[in-house]
Amino acid sequence: MVKIKPTEGIPFGRLIVKKEKLMKKTICMLAALAMISCTVSCGNNDEEGIQKPENPSVSNTDYSEGNTETVQSTENTSEEVTAENETKEHQTETAPISENWKDIYYNKLMEVIASSDYVQSWYSGTEFSLEDIDADGTPELFIAYNNIDGVDVYTCDNNNIRSLGEIGNYGEISYIPEKKLLVSTDYDPMVRITTDSYLGLNNRKFSTVITTGVEYNELGELFNWYVNDEYAEKDEYEKAIEMYDGGRTQLGHEFRVNITEIELALYGRSSWQKTYSEYLKEIVQNRSEEESYPHFSLYDITGDGTPELFVSEGTYHAAGVDVFSFDGRLRSIGILGSYGSASYSVESKTISTGDIHMGYEYGAEFEIQNYRFVRVFSYYCNCGAVQDKSEYEFKINNKPVTESQYDSAIEQYRTDRYVLLGNDNTLDSGSAEDVAEGKYSESEIRKNIVQ
């Protein structure tokens, strides 16, 4: 079940209002003011041209009504506050989208560091993401305090920060870039039903676009399907999935809430070389010595002259590759691959992901669009899981197809030349520093032996 804290009256009734932590967060915000002023005022913070707010105002959100009340620095006089507010109102009416959201989110993340909810841990600490869900030119801020609760979501409204509530669970929320939809997944073990709630953001409010669900029997087999909490035939359920689903990425865990990653995600450095180098040095300084996380690659798969950064998560089966890009700041694209590498097709210009498990074959092809992985092709078959050929299922892009149609579609994405990304460079302090000067081992284009 989706959990959302109330803002301005959520326009759908099935969501559970979650009111805990409100008093604690309010107290923490007040305590954070002193620390933020001290943190920002220590030096001019001019390294690599970063322009952070010199005398920031800290926003305090009224969760009950969805209004925002800006608490100005105590150094300002009442006359200065009035003049500043009048200037802001004028700018809001006449100015186009500005970069003020960066300073506003910087202040908020400084509040988070100063709060009692903040968990400082490299693996399971407080993390955040940035993504423009409503396509208004300003990204929303997603903060995951831990791996248990949902994700707190914020946006900028007239140069103030506004809470959009808490959604998702286990510190993350799924996002489908091509649909601009968030997906909150919930499993009820009492009735063995998994429910996906697809959420859109309009006029600073989340609303449910559609819900889909599947029910399992005691053997773990699917036997009931749901659309909008009503029983549905399997084909009706699949049509709903086809219309609304897509390649998913997880928001909430893309950057750690620490000074370096906050700066890189909001402001970047003066070049992609220095931005990537700073991020890689952060990994070297914080990862454990026993961890198999020692490789990275740089390869321009978008053809814009700036290579993407591919950082291996390890060498075990479930280890993917964290992919980043640069547009003046560090952009998280998502995680793909397995065994610490991702395969890029030179011919189709897509990144492949796939697996064969318990007789089921499935996978997908992704492109990078607007700094996110967008799924352009997917496949599935159960041929190795069933013995009776009459029970074979073949799907392309979630649509049932014949075996010959399946083979033909797969053939279009078979590649002669590919690049394995994530393992070209050993990650240590020296190689991380070399990236700042544009020095790194380039990825090798390989040729398939088995056709």
Kindly state the helix (H) or strand (E) to which residue 164 belongs, with its residue range. Answer: strand 160-167
Query: What does the alpha-carbon distance between residue 296 and residue 322 come to, in Å, rounded to a whole number?
Result: 9
Residue 397 pLDDT > 60, yes or no? yes
339 backbone φψ class: left, alpha, beta (φ>0; ψ -120 to 50): left
The single residue listed with the structure tokens 């690599």 is 48
The pLDDT tens digits of the residues spanning 169-190 come to 888 899 999 999 999 999 899 9
pLDDT at 202 over 50: yes
Selection from 297, 301, 300, 291 nearest residue 425 by Cα: 297
Helix, strand, or coil (residue 159): coil
pLDDT, mean over the chain: 80
Residue 424 confidence (pLDDT) above 70: yes
For CA atoms 290, 309, 283, 111, the dihedral sign is negative
Mean of pLDDT values over 211-216: 94
| pLDDT exceeds 50 at position 438 | yes
Q: Would you state the structure tokens that stand for residue 9, as one six-digit string? A: 């009256």
Would you state the structure tokens that stand for residue 66, as one six-digit string?
């969805």
Is residue 148 within 8 Å of 171, Cβ to Cβ?
yes
Q: Is the pLDDT of residue 93 over 60?
A: no
**Span 215-258, pLDDT tens digits:** 998 888 888 999 999 999 998 998 898 888 888 899 999 999 99
Sorted by sequence, the CB contacts under 8 Å of residue 3 that are 6+ apart come out as 15, 16, 18, 150, 166, 167, 168, 169, 184
Tokens of 357: 């498990």
Mean pLDDT of 342-365: 90
Instruction: Give the single-character DSSP code of 172.
Output: B
How does strand 16-17 pair with strand 3-4? parallel
Which of 127-131, 253-257, 338-342, 414-418 is predicted least confidently? 414-418
Contact predicate 138/121, CB 8 Å? no
pLDDT, residue 33, reads 42
Task: Determine the length of the chain.
Answer: 451
Q: How far is CA 363 from CA 34, 75, 411, in A?
A: 50, 57, 13
Of 211, 168, 152, nearest to 14 by C-alpha is 211
Q: What is the pLDDT of residue 448?
A: 72
How does residue 108 score in pLDDT terms, banded at 50, 70 and 90?
very high
Mean pLDDT along residues 58-69: 36
pLDDT of residue 288: 66
Place of tokens 């990994």: 283
Residue 442 DSSP class: P
Q: How confident is the model at residue 327 (pLDDT cuts 50, 70, 90)?
A: very high
> What distance in Å separates the CA atoms of residue 352 and residue 56, rounded to the nearest whole number?
44
Q: Left (φ > 0), alpha (ψ -120 to 50) or beta: where does 407 sit? A: alpha
Could you tell me whether strands 181-188 and 394-396 are parallel, antiparallel, or unpaired per DSSP bridges? unpaired
Query: 130 phi and psi, to 5 degrees?
Result: -130, 130
What is the reported pLDDT for 365? 93
Output DSSP code: residue 383.
T
Residue-wise over 224-256: b if at least 16 C-beta within 10 A, else e?
A: bbbbeeeebeeeebbebbeebbbbbbbbbbbbb
Q: Average pLDDT in the 108-118 region?
A: 95
* CA–CA distance, 241 with 378 (Å, rounded to integer): 13
Spatial distance between the Cα atoms of 152 and 126, rounded to a whole number of angstroms: 11
The highest-confidence range among 97-101, 352-356, 393-397, by mean pLDDT, is: 393-397
pLDDT for res 330? 98
Instruction: Please report the pLDDT score of residue 172 as a whole number.
Output: 87
pLDDT at 266: 97
Q: How far is CA 403 from CA 204, 389, 394, in A?
A: 46, 11, 6
Whether 204 shows a pLDDT value over 60: the answer reads yes
The H or E element containing residue 308 is strand 308-312
With 60 as the cut, is the pLDDT of residue 18 above it? no
Question: Which DSSP state fits 49?
Answer: G
What integer pLDDT is reported at residue 84 of this predicted model? Answer: 38
Instruction: Quote the pLDDT of residue 436.
Output: 97
Residue 283 has pLDDT above 80, yes or no: yes
pLDDT in tens, 22-59: 344 444 444 444 444 444 444 444 555 555 665 444 43
